[in-house]
Structure 1
Amino acid sequence: MELWPIAVVVIATSVAMLFGWLVQRRTHNAGIVDVIWAACMSASAMFYAAIGDGALVPRFAVAMLGGFWGFRLALHLLSRVLHEDEDGRYQSLREHWHGHQGKFFGFFQGQAILTVLFSMPFYAVSANPSNQISLACLIGVLVWFVSVGGESVADMQLANFRKDPRNRGKTCREGLWRYSRHPNYFFEWTHWFSYVLLAHGAVFSIWSLSLLGPILMLISLCWVTGIPFVERQALRSRGEDYRQYQRETSVFVPWFPGAHVG
């Protein structure tokens, strides 16, 4: 396992997050951190694919799939940053920290470290020596298309719902949002299993790095910065309408709506 490619990603993401912190100071919108995170993830996938010592097939796959996933996500998040107020998660942090820029700097650099950890599945795939289009590879590509497609549909459905002024203060229950309170998060999580499958064939010590993707994303979405913050903000802004939504709709894994399901 070579460490110099990881060191390059560490330095590059740290510099990118420094730039993001400076932008945040000027705009008072910390949402730029998510845009830079996604863009750095896209770049890291293509970087590892370019310098990896694995076979051509897995390296090409991770460059195309990881690169496109991060690029699409960065554009989607950038649109939100440019056209919406600062995300409620970061408003809460700003209020809690009283706008302390030193703490925001540490937060941005912490995101650089997370970028490096989340990029490890790309590293694992780029080290896969198998040049065969195996069953695991095919399933991995299928998982990627279903997951990224599902996340894109969920994002589009929510964006269309928010565009209608008649829906102000209401909770989206259309399309995938009828079956999960966070379908975009669910598909974002399942997307990471595609790299676990694409890394199949690498030595165990390298392949095991691919597990960091789904493990870290599940922890982040369900217990750290994802669902807890979003739901608290939704309860503040939509009150009883969202409480009813919570009672009727699965919190994460899509399921048929009904009585309280978690």
Structure 2
Amino acid sequence: MTARIFGMGSVILSALLASALSITMAGAWAIARKPGRSGWTDVIWSYAIGLAGVVAALTPIDGPPAKRRWLVALLVAGWSLRLGTHIARRTKGGQDDPRYAELRGEWGDRFDRRFFGFLQIQGAAAWLLSVSILVAARNPALFPAWSDWAGALILLAAVIGEAVADAQLDSFRSNPANRRRVCDTGLWGLSRHPNYFFEWLGWVAYAVIAIGPDGRFGWGWLALSGPVFMYWLLVHVSGIPPLEAHMLRSRGEAFRRTQRRIRAFWPIPLFRTEEDRP
């Protein structure tokens, strides 16, 4: 069964998804070349992963889609629509994402060339995540298993948590009195980047579904690459580092105090000294 599931059909499908994602991110690069449009790259990336995930889950390369495939497709579509639409609403104002604005200033005249390569890496990341979805959808265990419900609940918690974090930040920013302040209320009082934490948590869901109820689906363990890769990307590469560099420049000592009081990623409270209290 395992050999049949991951035969030539899966290889061809995966290669087609890789090509499509590469072309999509080239289009995102063309849009983002002008200042004020870089935020659209994240919109496109979010929707592209959602579409690639649905295709990976439902393409009938080994028979009609089973119920687990429909579940996985529904999960990735819901996540993608929520995240992509949220970023699109935020981007309509025509301002660059602070992370990409930092790269534009750092790379100068080389921005176009280097940003193209950067977005191709993003496309490769999207492809790797689509592989996690592919193996989750094709776990041959009987459906439903406890791992299916656990994965669905984890993803639901991740989507709700990220939506709450985004809403809290939007509410904070909408108050003119907070213009030079750092958001540290609600979920933002537990983690400096709770939206990134919940984004990572969502990819744990596919690993749970892919590994299955007994761990005997060998290919399912490949889905662990999703949360491992997202943690590395968010915490060490294109998520927290450039955003915190921007916050240090724009908020200075206020953000340094926040760094001492609140963890960067994991929503676990730190012990606060009197010196660090706001």
Determine which of 32, 41, 53 is the counterpart of 1:24: 32
Please list, as runs of the form range in 1=range in 2, the aligned pairs for 1:234-245 lying within 5 A after superposition.
234-245=247-258
Q: How many angstroms apart in 1 are the aligned matches of 2:162 and 2:33?
A: 31
**SS of residue matched to 2:144:** coil
Decide which moves more: 106-115 or 194-203.
194-203
Contact 2:37 2:94 in 1 (8 A): no
Letter of the structure 1 residue corresponding to residue 32 of structure 2: Q
TM-score (norm 1): 0.93
Q: How many angstroms apart in 2 are the aligned matches of 1:160 and 1:63?
A: 31
- Counterpart for residue 222 of structure 2: 209
Q: Relative to 1, partners in 2 of residues 1:178 and 1:7: Cα closer, same or farther, differing over 3 Å?
A: same
Q: How many angstroms apart in 1 are the aligned matches of 2:17 and 2:68?
A: 20
Query: How far apart are 1:205 and its partner, in Å?
Result: 4.0
Contact 1:20 1:33 in 2 (8 A): yes
Q: How many angstroms apart in 2 are the aligned matches of 1:105 and 1:248?
A: 37
Determine which of 57, 65, 72 is the counterpart of 1:49: 57
Q: How many angstroms apart in 2 are the aligned matches of 1:203 and 1:113?
A: 28
Can you list the C-alpha shifts for 1:56-94, whole angstroms capped at 9, x where unaligned? 222011110011101211111112222252122111211
Q: Relative to 1, partners in 2 of residues 1:150 and 1:119: Cα closer, same or farther, differing over 3 Å?
A: same
Structure 1 residue 133 corresponds to structure 2 residue 141: no
Q: How many angstroms apart in 2 are the aligned matches of 1:174 and 1:226?
A: 21
Structure 1 residue 104 corresponds to structure 2 residue 112: no
Can you list the C-alpha shifts for 1:117-158, whole angstroms capped at 9, x where unaligned? 121111111221124211111111111111111111001100
**SS of residue matched to 2:183:** coil
**SS of residue matched to 2:86:** helix
Letter of the structure 1 residue corresponding to residue 151 of structure 2: G
Structure 1 residue 119 corresponds to structure 2 residue 130: yes
**SS of residue matched to 1:208:** helix
Q: Relative to 1, partners in 2 of residues 1:189 and 1:149: Cα closer, same or farther, differing over 3 Å?
A: same
- Counterpart for residue 272 of structure 2: 259
**SS of residue matched to 1:199:** helix
Please list, as runs of the form range in 1=range in 2, the aligned pairs for 1:76-91 lying within 5 A after superposition.
76-83=86-93, 85-91=95-101
Letter of the structure 1 residue corresponding to residue 254 of structure 2: D
TM-score (norm 2): 0.88
Q: Relative to 1, partners in 2 of residues 1:173 and 1:13: Cα closer, same or farther, differing over 3 Å?
A: same
Contact 2:155 2:205 in 1 (8 A): yes
- Counterpart for residue 92 of structure 1: 102
Query: How far apart are 1:28 and its partner, in Å?
Result: 4.9
Query: How far apart are 1:186 and its partner, in Å?
Result: 1.0
Runs of 5+ in structure 1 lacking a partner? none
Give RMSD over aligned pairs: 2.0
Query: How far apart are 1:42 and its partner, in Å?
Result: 0.4
Q: How many angstroms apart in 1 are the aligned matches of 2:58 and 2:42?
A: 24
Query: How far apart are 1:204 and its partner, in Å?
Result: 4.1
Query: How far apart are 1:179 and its partner, in Å?
Result: 1.1
Query: How far apart are 1:200 and its partner, in Å?
Result: 2.8
Query: How far apart are 1:189 and its partner, in Å?
Result: 1.1
Aligned length: 261
